[in-house]
Amino acid sequence: MDYKFITDSNVVERIVKRELKNGREGFVFDKYGITIYYTVKCLHCGRYFTANELRVAKDNPGEYAVLCKYAPECDGNIEDMIPITELAY
Ligand SMILES: [Zn+2]
């Protein structure tokens, strides 16, 4: 797929938080909107990284896809991201 990655880190952070909050169970947010489970595992490639390393690509106009840190090498998207606690990690 031909991704158009968003490079503005403020935009990336906002979209990642919004999408994790709305679309994924297990991610817990405090009153500041920061996820408590900061480390994620990509089920697609099996690698661990922090939520702020997720990549965001523009899909259709006005729509964004949250992708694995290792996109486009890895096809993992937000559905493949599971939260890992410090203890579990
Ligand atoms: Zn991945």
Ligand 1 center from residue 46 Cα (angstroms): 6
Average pLDDT (13-37) is 78
Confidence category of residue 21, pLDDT binned at 50, 70, 90: confident
List the chain domain ranges.
4-88
Confidence category of residue 35, pLDDT binned at 50, 70, 90: low
Which residues pair with residue 64 across a beta bridge?
Answer: 58
Average pLDDT (29-54) is 84
| Predicted local distance difference test score (pLDDT) of residue 67 | 95
Q: Judge if pTM exceeds 0.85.
A: no
In angstroms, rounded to a whole number, what is the distance separating the alpha carbons of residues 59 and 43?
Answer: 21
Ligand 1 center from residue 49 Cα (angstroms): 9
Ligand 1 center from residue 71 Cα (angstroms): 7
Average pLDDT (3-24) is 86
Ligand 1 center from residue 33 Cα (angstroms): 24
Q: What's the whole-number average pLDDT of the chain?
A: 85
Ligand 1 center from residue 80 Cα (angstroms): 8
